């Protein structure tokens, strides 16, 4: 836990958020500024700043996050039509919160390339 981290505070329940799913390893919350009809953030409970800080010990965690994303996409009914999982890393990648997270975007046609 990092005391000045937004997602650590949300995971601890100190800052409110709309939680869609949670388990012992991650929370899934609604993005405050949604870019699609469904825009969820999959956030590990552990404070990992960026993708570059992942180690081999996190392989199972990352796999679990992707499995949960797929399960949610199926449950919400847009798995077959399609969706996107995004990780922004560092400033040029568009990262604004320095606690690893994956965006799950769905329920609209998504453009490529992204901006």
State how beta strands 83-86 and 38-44 pair: unpaired
Judged by CB under 5 A, does residue 47 bind Zn ion? Answer: yes
Shortest CB 89 distance to ligand 5GP, Å:
9
CA dihedral 21, 14, 7, 115 (to 10 degrees): 90
Which one of ligand 5GP, Zn ion, none is in contact with 31 (Cβ closer than 5 to 8 A by kind)?
Answer: ligand 5GP
Query: Do the Cβ atoms of 36 and 30 come closer than 8 Å?
Result: no
> Is 47 annotated in the active site?
no
7 and 18 Cβ atoms separated by less than 8 Å? no
User: Contact region for Zn ion (CB under 5 A) — 1-9, 51-59, 80-88, 100-108?
Assistant: 1-9
Here the tokens at position 83 are 């969706």
94 makes contact with ligand 5GP (CB under 6 A): yes
Q: Would you count residue 22 as binding ligand 5GP (CB under 6 A)?
A: no
Kind and range of the H or E element at 30?
strand 26-30
Asked if 36 touches ligand 5GP (CB under 6 A), the answer is: no
Given candidates 95, 107, 108, 110, which one binds ligand 5GP under the rule CB under 6 A? Answer: 95
Distance between alpha carbon 31 and the CA centroid of its chain, in Å? 9
* Residues making contact with Zn ion (CB under 5 A): 2, 5, 7-8, 47, 99
């Amino acid at each position: 836990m990092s005391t000045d981290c937004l997602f650590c505070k949300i995971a601890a329940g100190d800052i409110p958020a709309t939680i869609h799913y949670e388990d012992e390893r991650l929370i899934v919350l609604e993005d405050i500024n949604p870019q699609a009809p469904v825009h969820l953030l999959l956030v590990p409970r552990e404070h990992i700043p960026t993708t570059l800080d992942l180690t081999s010990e996190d392989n199972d965690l990352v796999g679990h996050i992707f499995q949960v994303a797929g399960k949610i996409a199926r449950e919400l009914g847009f798995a077959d039509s399609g969706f996107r999982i995004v990780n922004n890393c560092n400033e040029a990648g568009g990262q604004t919160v320095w606690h690893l997270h994956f965006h799950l975007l769905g329920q609209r046609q998504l453009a490529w390339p992204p901006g």
